Structure 1
Amino acid sequence: MKTKVVAVINQKGGTGKTTTTINLGSALSKLGKKVLLVDLDPQSNLSYSLAIPNPEKTLAGVFLGDNSLQETWVEKDGLWVVPGSNDLVDVEISLVTEPEREKFLKTILAEAKGFDFILIDCPPSLSVLTLNALTAAHEVLVPLQMEVLTLQGLDQIMNTIQKVKKAFNSQLKVKGIVVVMFDVRRKLSQEVLEYLHENVKEKIFRNHIRMNVKLAEAPSFGQSILDYDASSNGARDYMALAEEYLES
């Protein structure tokens, strides 16, 4: 199987992007896939959530040529992780003046051999780093809360994807929208979901990620939800999502 590179994006913070990257990756790993997680966010929430808070080598060092990708990744509960750091802010600034600045990550990830999936946790902005992720990716996954303002953000994301597809990556496609933090008791959640189904042509995964206290607790213990509490609704939801992802 050829390595599938997936960019997990949403330009709004707090939308379940990092949670989805970690737990979808963990679920795919439990299903026998070899998965590399790439923390492209200068806030490094993915690295922190997996108890890799102060790594010796990070993705910023790979961008800057200080270390190779293989020297950077660490193994964590069956996953491989390329840690991020605040130094990615400096990387982003330096990339602005570089020719073909959108292709750096694609070149870096070409070093990663033997993985089934590479999941990229993107910054909560449509930045040069996110542009790198979209240029490197085969597919885009968009975690989306069922809130009115997220619909406006979704339009911006889709417009950006189309521009990147036209300019840099003709093979890029939207794998689908993942409904996260879904509260079945809220009328608004149902209304926004109905609106999406009626007005958005992209695939909306049928398995939703429900509101779940255990999902919020897991990062405090440096674990994915599947390692923290495999019997929780959060673990069941992400496992179901992973199975659907592989089928689609």
Structure 2
Amino acid sequence: MSNPPTVVSLGLAGGQGKSTVALMLGRYLGRLGIPVLFVDCDPQSSLTSFLGVQVQPHTPTLLEVLTQPEEKTKIIDAIASVPDVKLGDRTISNTNLFLIPSDDGLESANYKLASSGLSLFILRNRLQPIVSNFGVAIVDPPPERSHLAQTSLGAGDKWVIPAESNVKGVQSLLRTMELIKEFKAALPYGELLGVVPFRARWTGLHPTNATKTSIDTMRELVADELMLPHILESDVFKNAINQRVAPTDLGQPNLEYAIHVLAQRLKPALSAEYAKLIPAEPV
């Protein structure tokens, strides 16, 4: 039996929705009953913060996982449970969510990865012994070309590229596609699930000219079949992240449509046990 898929949310510029898409996909799958292992490979530690996980003293983080052998730091000891969240009089369960956290010390892992000569595969090799305990792993890399970004890319067999619906987003998409092209020969198992236009702006029933032009350009760059539905610019996402919940928990499931379609793209890679939990229509 093959291992569960590892999804990497890629973007080579800040503000592209990389962490948001990783977070929302994991929350969506976890809500359906699929065990999710998040891996926070960004020294900014956004995912660790968004999930409400506190890094404990003397507890290993991703830094130790990447820079120390399994005999010294067991990867299972670095996995934290994501705490449940109180939302008004409700409790939002995060029973199916787990995280290998990071802190700003992770930046120093770049030096160790650079000296190894095998940075592309280190995270993948470290995840192999434990990833089968989950339905899917989701990696959030740094928004830059670095050895942490390379080892994140190599860890994934499914890649998704969020890109802001503006000129900066198009440029980020171009650089991210160049990164994939550079290493694709060494990663024959890798597959691009699609591109998610992020922070799309609409006026009434129509996108703004800037949003439409950017999305049309993205479509020309990657082909129509790789374009996923856009994510609207909305304060609901900010509120959901701040409250450590999903838009659905705030009564706005329609804002997760792009995440639902992404989950559908991922479905064939899931085990039969978990694939059947992905609904045909958004929930």
TM-score, normalisation: structure 1: 0.89
Corresponding position of 1:234: 255
Corresponding position of 1:165: 184
In the aligned structure 1, how far is the partner of 2:232 from the partner of 2:191?
A: 26
User: Structure 1 residues 178 and 187, CA, compared in 2 at 3 Å: closer, same or farther?
Assistant: same
Corresponding position of 1:23: 24
In the aligned structure 1, how far is the partner of 2:28 from the partner of 2:194?
A: 17
Corresponding position of 2:215: 193
Partner of residue 68 from structure 1, selected from 71, 74, 82: 74
Give the partner amino acid of 2:202: V
For the 8 Å contact 2:15–2:164, the answer to whether it is kept is: no
Partner of residue 111 from structure 1, selected from 129, 138, 148: 129
User: Structure 1 residues 181 and 247, CA, compared in 2 at 3 Å: closer, same or farther?
Assistant: farther
In the aligned structure 1, how far is the partner of 2:194 from the partner of 2:27?
A: 19
In the aligned structure 2, how far is the partner of 1:174 from the partner of 1:225?
A: 25
Corresponding position of 2:49: 48
In the aligned structure 1, how far is the partner of 2:120 from the partner of 2:161?
A: 20
Helix, strand or coil at the partner of 1:13: coil
Instruction: Output aligned runs, 1:76-225, within 5 Å.
Output: 76=82, 77=94, 78-112=96-130, 113-166=132-185, 168-185=186-203, 186-201=208-223, 203-221=225-243, 223-225=244-246
TM-fit CA distance, 1:233: 4.1
Give the % identical residues: 22
User: Structure 1 residues 241 and 230, CA, compared in 2 at 3 Å: closer, same or farther?
Assistant: farther
Comparing 200-209 with 97-106, greater Cα deviation is found at 200-209
Give the partner amino acid of 2:76: Q
Stretches of 4+ moved more than 6 A in 1?
A: none
Any unmatched runs of 5+ in structure 2?
83-93, 270-283
TM-fit CA distance, 1:59: 0.8
In the aligned structure 2, how far is the partner of 1:11 from the partner of 1:84?
A: 19
Count of equivalent residues = 246
In the aligned structure 1, how far is the partner of 2:18 from the partner of 2:235?
A: 17
For the 8 Å contact 2:67–2:112, the answer to whether it is kept is: no
Helix, strand or coil at the partner of 1:87: helix
Helix, strand or coil at the partner of 2:39: strand
TM-fit CA distance, 1:121: 0.2
Any unmatched runs of 5+ in structure 1?
none
For the 8 Å contact 1:210–1:237, the answer to whether it is kept is: no
Cα deviation 1:204-237 (Å, max 9, x = unaligned): 444321112121122322x231574243543455
For the 8 Å contact 1:7–1:121, the answer to whether it is kept is: yes
**RMSD over aligned Cα, in angstroms?**
2.2
For the 8 Å contact 1:142–1:177, the answer to whether it is kept is: yes
TM-score, normalisation: structure 2: 0.79
